[in-house]
Chains A and B, each alone.
Chain A
Amino acid sequence: MGIKMLKTKLGKIELDTPIIMASGTFGYGIERIDFIDYKKIGAIVTKTITFYPCEGNPQPRIYETYSGMINRIGLQNPGVFCFVKNILPLIRKKYKKIFVSITEKTEKELLKLIKIISKEKIDAIELNLSCPNFERNKRMISQDPDLTYRVIKIVKNETDIPIIAKISPNVTDIKEIAIASEKGGADILSLINTVKGLRIDFKKMKVIDGGLSGPCIKPIGLKCVYDVYKVINIPIIGIGGIVNGLDALEYIMVGASAVGIGSGFFNNPHIIEDVYFSLKKYLKENKYKDIEQIRGLLNEKN
């Protein structure tokens, strides 16, 4: 038993554990961090890659808030060519399952990006659909169901690698976007990306307008997963404010197949082990055979 209890299926992808390192807060997972037990990580989602290198936003990029933080990193990354040549081989040495997060601002560049990344041996592509200004659209892709559908379809037609759609909670009805994602061909959904937020730095007299993460957004993430689970038939990666095992359990009980650890890792660098052991302990104490038995336990499909 032991390790088998936490075996997780995301469609055709099989993970040893439901613990996924979410995009952006774990870099490319290649920094040397001795206190992590990498075997307990089900999959890593890389920091988002674009076709061309992207320098990211000027300072300030990060600010603490009550029970969380705001970031505006701005997708700093070395571009897909450098990623594939220099970074991906290092990721492969450390992780069994690799999900590469991507985004672009135009259809042309998105297609070029997909062509290159599809040739690589990776387990999934996570489409970061929170990118604003796609083809000069003012909204984020995942704020528009038609655009969400279209972008996923474009990508799906170009690759056989499973597609994860990561969508924003900053919408009137997230179910609508989730349904559009599924129709477009998404194999998995990642819920949620950061929530829009703002803070003022009085020392620098600057506004920090970015994405809010941390425990303060957990109820929002849970509600999104709860609502979306009812109306779609693809697996969900629940993300948002997880800092311990109970948080992860909540996401799984409302229907998440796996959980994404984001900025919670900054707060609690032992979070991977915490989630791993808490889930196992809960299953054992309540006499469940495996994690499948508690998935969506407190939710129902429509």
Chain B
Amino acid sequence: MEIKICRIKKNEVVGNLHYLMEFENNFKESFSPGNFVYIKIENNFLRRPFSVSGFSKNSLKIIYKIVGEGTEKLSKKEKGECVDVLGPCGNSFPLFENKKIAIIGGGTGIAPLIFLCERLKKYKNEIDFFFGAKNKELLFLSILPPNINYIFTTEDGSFGKRGNIFDVFYKFKDIYEVIYASGPEELLKKISKLSDKIPIYLSLENYMGCGMGLCYGCVVKVKVNNGWIYKRVCKEGPVFSGKEIIWE
């Protein structure tokens, strides 16, 4: 984990209230899919966590939605300005080779899956990418990785099938060897019910304090032997196996 001041290369609207920010990668450490960055927002006491959606030698990308005053301030930042970034934070998705893989994303949850998909592609996996959003605009078609088999749904039917991404995925569920997902809790809950048969890896979100594993503010209930314990989303997570999460 390092803290770097990074110059913003791009901070653009990619859909209603949704932004893609690209900033210089000044980090010595490498980022893996699933890792997040913890960004300082002027005049807010706590930083804000964002999944890394793109990583290269020169730049890092995040996709975010304006959900409060912190993200609103972030959206006002312009190219050339700087952000104070702590990272890489958290664990990462386990990666496989030569597998039949389903990636399932809902809404803004797609952010870590873009980075994941690009990485999995390099390992000769056969990937079906299920992505559901409110409408066509929020499918971020212009920024999705190319040459992937996408299955889209929208709530309003403006692109792909009308309906819920889980329902579409469910019909094909038995053909996959590994499943990755990120998105609204309802979606992740449903997907994790399939954990008995298929390895499932989920990226979770939570309010965070430190982002470094110190404060135990962001914990989730996780199964262990005959009981459960609280694990930290910022440290043992944000990626958890679908089997271990106890949904509340």
- Which residues in A have some Cβ–Cβ distance to B below 8 Å? 24-27, 31-35, 47, 55-56, 58-65, 67-69, 71, 73, 76, 214-215, 263, 265-267, 269-270
Contact = CB atoms under 8 A, between A and B. Distances in A.
Decide if the interface of chain B is mainly helix, strand, loop or mixed: loop
B45 A63 contact: no
A270 B40 CA distance: 13
Contact of B45 (A25, A56, A59, A215): A215
Given A73-B215, A76-B216, A58 B248 contact: yes
Contacts of B207: 60-64
Contact of A61 (B3, B211, B219, B248): B219
B230 A56 contact: yes
Contact of B217 (A26, A34, A61): A61
The 9 A-B residue pairs with the shortest CB-CB distance in the complex, in nearest-first order: A62-B217, A27-B214, A31-B213, A62-B209, A61-B217, A64-B46, A266-B210, A76-B216, A214-B45
Contact of B209 (A35, A59, A67, A69): A69
A267 B218 contact: no
B216 A61 contact: yes
Contacts, number: 88
Most chain A CB neighbours (cut-off 10 Å) among B45, B47, B210, B230: B45
B45 A62 contact: no
B86 A71 contact: no
A267 B47 CA distance: 7
Nearest to A265: B210
Contacts of A270: 3
Contacts of A269: 3, 86, 212
Nearest to A55: B230
Nearest to B28: A34
Interface residues of B, number: 28
B229 interface: yes
A267 B45 contact: yes
B216 A55 contact: no
A59 B248 contact: yes
Nearest to A21: B214
Given A73-B215, A215-B45, 12 more contacts: A25-B209, A26-B214, A27-B216, A31-B235, A59-B219, A59-B220, A61-B207, A61-B217, A61-B218, A68-B45, A73-B217, A267-B40
A214 B215 CA distance: 14
Interface in B172-213: 206-213
A270 B47 CA distance: 14
Contacts of A63: 207
B110 to A, nearest CB: 21
B219 A76 contact: yes
Given A62-B207, A71-B215, A269-B86, A35 B2 contact: yes
9 contacts: A25-B215, A26-B214, A27-B216, A34-B1, A59-B248, A60-B207, A61-B216, A64-B207, A267-B45
B71 to A, nearest CB: 13
Contact of B44 (A34, A56, A64): A64
B31 to A, nearest CB: 15
Most chain A CB neighbours (cut-off 10 Å) among B86, B207, B213: B207
Contacts of A62: 46, 207-209, 215, 217-218
